[in-house]
Amino acid sequence: MEALKVSSFTSLHIPTATTPDKTLFTRLKFLNFHQLSPLPSSIFSTTHKSRSSKPSKLYTTLSSSSTVSTENTDPDLETATPDEKFEWFSQWYPVMPVCDLDKRVPHAKKILGIDVVVWWDRNESAWKVFDDTCPHRLAPLSQGRIDQWGRLQCVYHGWCFSGSGDCKFIPQAPPAGPPVHTFKKACVGVYPTTVQHDIVWFWPSTDPQYKDIIMTKKPPYIPELEDPSFTKLMGNRDIPYGYDVLVENLMDPAHVPYAHHGIMQIRKPDVKLDREGGRPLEMSVKKFDVNGFIGKHEWGSGKFIAPCVYYSYSEPVVDQGNESASSGGNEKVKKLPKQRRMALIFICVPVSPGNSRLIWTFPRNFGVWIDKIVPRWMFHVGQNLILDSDLYLLHIEERKIKDVGPINWQKACFVPTKSDAYVVGFRRWLTKYSGGEINWGGKFSGTLPPTPPREQLLDRYWSHVVNCKSCNSAYKTLNALEVVLQVISIVSIGIVAATKQNVMSSIMRTTLVSTAVVCFTASRWLAHFIYKNFHYHDYNHAFR
């Protein structure tokens, strides 16, 4: 069963001896690319020689008061006006991937401090996002159900609501009137909602002026997610640390060989200075404004599309050697070359102070057959292990940043190398356009929740399994199999014990006893596998 773990696919990683930045690219082990055949080395055009020919710059500070200054080598880095502020409540936010939403039930979610319920309105064939509050006695509508007429019903007193938020039925109201269900106060707040890239998005305001906001402003568009030639399995997980720490961690390739040692394979550097093989990385921010920034790294480009999307993509690589004979047979005609492309897409959702949600997908137009054969939950086993391996580090880091104050991040953290360019770029963006913090609309004081026991902090069941349709299904199936194995073991022993010795042959008796032992052992092993992969898998860096 260890073959189910991401680390077991090491024979099919992406080794390229000539590639300069394999640290970032081997984040693909986080994806499901741990199973892919090697990519051509032409994807990575930068060499060690070209890197060493450039003078080193320090990416250390956001403030001129720091003892280490930063030379701005990018003329377009400061393109926004000083008084421009990022409007957190005037953006589209992802709720959940459609593949992990059940149309039969309402789902509770918290986004930007707002409690919402997302449900399928079969009358309009559309996903709806409402305030998760019944106007009657404030019970959560997410604990309700969808009735036989396709309405969202509060199960506290049975009030029913249509997809427009109008109350359609109050059981306690006399049929003869007055029609209290038509009063404005009986309605539920409805958020503008759309589906893009197979993800449900909502606009965090129930004000009627934003009802048709989709006509003037749309969620971020990512071409790979609309291209049918790309594979794009998705995953989601609730994270017990904040949005800002999540974003900067995903932008940071330098931590991969250390925080994820033994899980993600990386290219060996020419000169290995330590066990893990960390090395200098070429990264830079090229354009920077209130909407995010664009960056360049060794294997491609990166975009931070504020507030949620970090999108890193490779430059197209032509697949050479596609030749076919001409009709005359005397010369060869080259077919249109195929471009191999891939991207890493992380969608980071601010939930509340100290909590965030990650939706990830890694589209590619090669090796597509892998995703059709391997179940999605098997990819998630390895991806969750990678999230777990630095989760505790980031949870503690967030509390230290809180102690010094997010606005003082650049004073507390010493970031002197180019490998931190994206992280510094994100902190600059957050500081310049939002004062270093998320605007929660006055809902929170900013205090972080207490640190729970490690087993609870790294829990996978409530943070991922219950919210992932494929993992939830696998979890139930494997638990049922465990019970079946136990039953077979008990029945086999029972038959042997109840049958007289002269009635059953010694061969049959031995077979039943062996079956009982094997099934019991398998059930115990399976119980351990289920707990380790669907509940809690500790990661001790000292023993990796």
The pLDDT tens digits for 373-385 are 999 999 999 999 9
pLDDT above 60 (res 131): yes
pLDDT above 90 (res 37): no
The closest of 420, 379, 202, 220 to 310, measured between CA atoms, is: 220
Straight-line distance from the first to the last Cα atom of the chain, in angstroms, rounded to the nearest whole number = 20
Q: What is the pLDDT of residue 31?
A: 38
What's at 32, amino acid-wise? N
pLDDT above 60 (res 46): no
pLDDT above 80 (res 506): yes
pLDDT above 60 (res 416): yes
Local structure of 176: helix, strand or coil: coil
**Mean pLDDT score of the chain, rounded to an integer?**
82
Q: What is the pLDDT of residue 518?
A: 96
Listed ranges 154-163, 326-335, 369-378, 493-502; the one with the highest mean pLDDT: 154-163
User: CA–CA separation, 25 vs 38, rounded Å?
Assistant: 12
Pick the residue with more confidence: 467 or 299? 467
User: CA–CA separation, 70 vs 57, rounded Å?
Assistant: 7
pLDDT above 60 (res 32): no
User: What are the pLDDT digits (tens) for 207-251?
Assistant: 999 999 999 999 999 999 999 989 889 999 999 999 999 999 999
How crowded is the C-beta side of 295, counted as CA atoms within 13 Å? 27
Phi then psi for residue 195, to 5 deg, are -115, 120
Q: What is the pLDDT of residue 60?
A: 40
DSSP β-bridge partners for residue 359:
236, 347
Question: Please, which pLDDT band fits residue 536 given cuts at 50, 70 and 90?
Answer: very high
Q: What is the pLDDT of residue 511?
A: 92
Q: What is the pLDDT of residue 263?
A: 85
Residue 280's alpha-carbon distances to 23, 43, 272, 356, 416, in angstroms, are 10, 19, 12, 30, 11
pLDDT above 50 (res 42): no
pLDDT above 50 (res 109): yes
Average pLDDT over residues 345-359: 97
Residues, the chain: 544
Share of the chain above pLDDT 70, in %: 81
Residue 484, token pair as written in the block: 């079946």
User: CA–CA separation, 514 vs 507, rounded Å?
Assistant: 10
User: CA–CA separation, 46 vs 300, rounded Å?
Assistant: 10
Question: Please, which pLDDT band fits residue 44 given cuts at 50, 70 and 90?
Answer: very low
The closest of 39, 51, 467, 441 to 236, measured between CA atoms, is: 467
CA 302 to chain centre: 17
Pick the residue with more confidence: 152 or 339? 152
Question: Please, which pLDDT band fits residue 337 given cuts at 50, 70 and 90?
Answer: low
Listed ranges 112-121, 280-289, 315-324; the one with the highest mean pLDDT: 112-121
Pick the residue with more confidence: 471 or 273? 471
Residue 320, token pair as written in the block: 């050479």
Local structure of 194: helix, strand or coil: strand
